[in-house]
Amino acid sequence: MPRGVFITLEGLDGSGKTTQIKRLAAWLTRRGQEPVVLRQPGGTPTSDRIREILLDSRSAPLHPMTEAALMFAARAQAIAEIIRPALDAGKIVVCDRFTDSTEAYQGGGRQLGSAAILDLHRLICGGLQPDITLLLLPGFEASLARARHRNLRVEAETGRNENRFEVEQDAFYRRVWEKYREIAAREPDRVVLIEGDLSIDEVHEQIVEAVAERLLAKV
């Protein structure tokens, strides 16, 4: 059986990833696919417990390397339980964040550098790479404001506190932003950069075009 297709979506919180993942999954389903959808960190019971530690503002402060190691621990479990089995079964996997996020947030934002993150990726993830990464980079200020507002709303509605990253200063997010752009420039064959303050429909159209052109022919 041919290997399945691994799609990831990346970007700052507030970039619209969640909405676009739902629309992409629905689009794939209408075309007879049954995508496996998960988020990082998370996706398994163990990974979700690690996510709570990483995103809860009460966990501060974490050493940057501790933070990166926890990210990869959650990822390794998701790869073992969900991602590799699904790909081996020929399925399409759609993942909200993967190692690009760790390179951007911990490598860039926490200033660990790309080399350390990519070394961990090779060691822990076996070098597993997405077939295509859709990187959403709307306007920086609007994206950050939406992220902070959204997570405060989620906490008020559900009691879940996932604000630890959102309390960081703008300089942190500028480093994340620039690292994402660096990744896109370094790997243009994998990363599809979708920039600007586009409408939900406009972003979806670009995503569908990229996926249809570069991946569905392989399925």
Higher per-residue confidence, 195 vs 2: 195
Query: How far is residue 154 from each of residues 151, 208, 209, measured CA to CA in Å?
Result: 5, 29, 32
Query: How far is residue 195 from each of residues 24, 72, 137, measured CA to CA in Å?
Result: 18, 28, 5
Which residue range(s) make up the domain with 117? 5-218
State the DSSP string of 135-148. EEE--HHHHHHHHH
Q: 129: helix, coil or strand?
A: coil
CATH number, residue 156: 3.40.50.300
pLDDT at 210 over 60: yes
Q: Residue 121 and residue 129: Cα distance in Å, rounded? A: 9
Q: Residue 126 and residue 151: Cα distance in Å, rounded? A: 33
Q: Give 140's pLDDT tier (boundaries 50, 70, 90).
A: confident
Q: Give 142's pLDDT tier (boundaries 50, 70, 90).
A: confident
Mean pLDDT of 86-92: 96
pLDDT at 154 over 60: no
Q: Residue 40 and residue 17: Cα distance in Å, rounded? A: 12
Domains identified in the chain, total number: 1
CA nearest neighbour of 55 among 148, 210, 164, 157: 164
pLDDT at 159 over 90: no
Using one digit for the tens of pLDDT, what is the confidence trace for 44-83?
999 999 998 888 767 678 899 999 999 999 999 999 999 9
Q: Please give the pLDDT value at position 151.
A: 58
Using one digit for the tens of pLDDT, what is the confidence trace for 99-139?
999 999 999 999 999 999 999 999 999 989 999 999 999 87
Using one digit for the tens of pLDDT, what is the confidence trace for 15-30?
889 999 999 999 999 9
CA nearest neighbour of 37 among 21, 61, 51, 50: 21
Q: pTM of the prediction?
A: 0.88
